[in-house]
Chains A and B, each alone.
Chain A
């Protein structure tokens, strides 16, 4: 049982006001999409919610306790982040990288056990990368790398997962497979993802936050917040929708 609560949250980056006076409670079983134009502050909001950068105003409570008062390790046991791509500096194998996810669960001086390795291997299996576990990460394609990062997150197994554009670099098959996998695993837990693909968000998210880039935002259940009118306002282009197979599909008119 995990909750993430924003109390009068104000976030600013450079000249962009991401949000002001935001009161929001995110809880188990929900899957949130964060939508907005480039530079509207999706990543910044995500990092702030993860405690990676300080909020300018207000506070964020993870399971009732302020993020600022918790140690990084304490936070990492409950909350995990999938970053947009990072550069690698030194040779590392896929398995070694994925095993990093166990860090918050291991004590001082404790080494990864067979059980930890089994967890990491299972995660690699789920994202279809087990065959590459001994490969050096610099030899991976962008999409394979993305899946490895997702495997690392699954290995960490936090109650709350914040994903920064999880479908980046993924081919169509892996977009659907990987997001279905994550959504399925987080059916009872809390998921939040920033996204540019509205139709993927429609498919995998129950709630949405729309960032307008001027401090204004709307949030609520996905179908209440995401409409052709709100999307037109958000992206500044004309948008139409059609119904197909029980889904609403949005496309630029």
Chain B
């Protein structure tokens, strides 16, 4: 941890930097002095723009990105599979199916969120019930059940897209690729992220052990049965909340934990706080670019997480090989 303190501080700075960037950039550019005067005496030129539009959106991006990153980290420790992310267990497929059904029924955005959340929970319960089965659920069985369910959800999603009227398809596609335009992150979402981050940090040593082998972890005194359940439900909850707020934003849950492992190692005491900061920062940056690169057209943020993420990830993966 102490050797990773500089890296964590750097991440914190990057996070603050990304918030500033998110406040400055947009159809109406905000200069640094405007920003400072708005922040200091709360009555600058762009008061409303900054405090009512851009700051809430940046904070929403941060909390969703942080939740997705942390969910990915916990899932990877749980399944001991580097490919695990919140999406692989079919959670996002369930959420998307729920959301699309609500859209098709012409329901409002709050109901769409509720439907997405219910879909995610349904998927979680299904995976758990099926994979739990007879004896112990091995991680491979859990993973396979999730993948198969996800395929089923995908078929349902395609079906819903095909039968939907043309004017709704655009909104549905945006939802499927993640969109923060209408996201309202209430205080409880931040509290939830803070509580689970703290809990995961307190469980960092057991997390280190279980990610290196379940039998070994049990023999070294970790109650793996309890820990697995806890990880499964916290990671699923984080994913369900993030997706129901912002749509299915891919990639952050997979990418953020791996990028960090490549740079700061595999100790969860550093990984847990770092993954929240990095996930949040990545999503703020992606969202800021999503609403500015082709302005006034807004892009789904999922496109940007991939465009930013793929080259960075590949660079980190291969930089030690040469």
Contact = CB atoms under 8 A, between A and B. Distances in A.
Interface of A: 47, 50, 52, 71-77, 80-81, 83, 86-93, 96-97, 100-101, 103-104, 106, 108-109, 111, 156
A76 B202 CA distance: 20
Contact of A103 (B81, B220, B262, B269): B220
Nearest to B211: A90
Nearest to A87: B213
B215 interface: yes
Contacts of A89: 80-82, 211-212
19 contacts: A71-B223, A72-B218, A72-B222, A74-B221, A76-B219, A76-B220, A80-B220, A83-B216, A86-B212, A86-B213, A89-B212, A90-B76, A90-B80, A93-B265, A100-B212, A100-B220, A103-B205, A104-B220, A106-B205
B261 A90 contact: yes
B209 A96 contact: no
A47 B219 CA distance: 9
B272 to A, nearest CB: 13
Contacts of B80: 89-90
Contacts of B221: 71-77, 103-104
Given A89-B80, A96-B266, A109-B202, A83 B219 contact: yes
Given A72-B218, A92-B265, A100-B209, 4 more contacts: A52-B218, A88-B212, A91-B261, A103-B209
Nearest to A104: B221
Nearest to B213: A86
A64 B226 CA distance: 26
Interface of B: 1, 76, 80-82, 202, 205-206, 208-209, 211-213, 215-216, 218-224, 261-262, 265-267, 269
B261 to A, nearest CB: 6
A94 B222 CA distance: 20
A93 B208 CA distance: 12
A93 B269 CA distance: 15
Contacts of B216: 83, 86, 100
Nearest 5 CB-CB pairings of A with B: A76-B221, A73-B221, A104-B221, A81-B219, A89-B80
Nearest to A76: B221
Contacts of B209: 100, 103
Contact of B266 (A52, A86, A92, A109): A92
B215 A90 contact: no
A212 B1 CA distance: 50
Contacts of B213: 83, 86-88
Most buried by B among A81, A91, A100: A100
Nearest to A99: B208
B223 to A, nearest CB: 5
Contact of B269 (A47, A50, A97, A111): A111
A77 B82 CA distance: 31
A4 to B, nearest CB: 14
A58 B1 CA distance: 45
B265 A52 contact: no
Nearest to A74: B221
Contact of B265 (A50, A81, A87, A96): A96
Contacts of A106: 205
A90 B202 contact: no
A83 B215 contact: yes
A232 B208 CA distance: 45
Given A108-B202, A111-B1, A90 B219 contact: no
B219 A52 contact: yes
A50 B219 contact: yes
Contact of B222 (A88, A101, A103, A108): A103
